[in-house]
Amino acid sequence: MRNFSILAVLILPLLVAAESASADPLRNFKSADADKSGSLEAPEFRNFIDLLADGGNRMARTVRASRAYGIALSRVDYNNDGRVSGDELKRYDKAN
């Protein structure tokens, strides 16, 4: 479990800064936001990570391979509402 926590701390800044042109975080965020609420619930966040992984983001592939979606979500969900907004992703990226 400790490895997952370390992984989550290191991962999320790199999720926002995607590694390839096909892994566009903004486009992927909008695509993953199935209900168009402006935030990602757990299944949508998982889809967001998977889209980034499919686009070549190495750290997103690690989250997917480790199945550490919940840990990753908890690191970004600053207000603990079970959702991740674009602002929360930006905040996490700035802090890390």
Domain assignments of the chain as residue spans, ordered by start: 2-95
Q: Which CATH class is domain 2-95?
A: mainly alpha
CB distance 71 to 12 below 8 Å: no
Q: Give me the residue label for tokens 């757990």.
A: 42
Distances (CA, A) of 15 to 20, 21, 58: 11, 13, 9
pLDDT per position as a tens digit, 32-66? 999 999 999 999 999 999 998 999 888 789 999 99
Specify the pTM. 0.76
Task: Tell me the sheet residues that pair with 39.
Answer: 85
Predicted confidence (pLDDT) per residue in 13-36, tens digit: 555 554 444 557 888 899 999 999
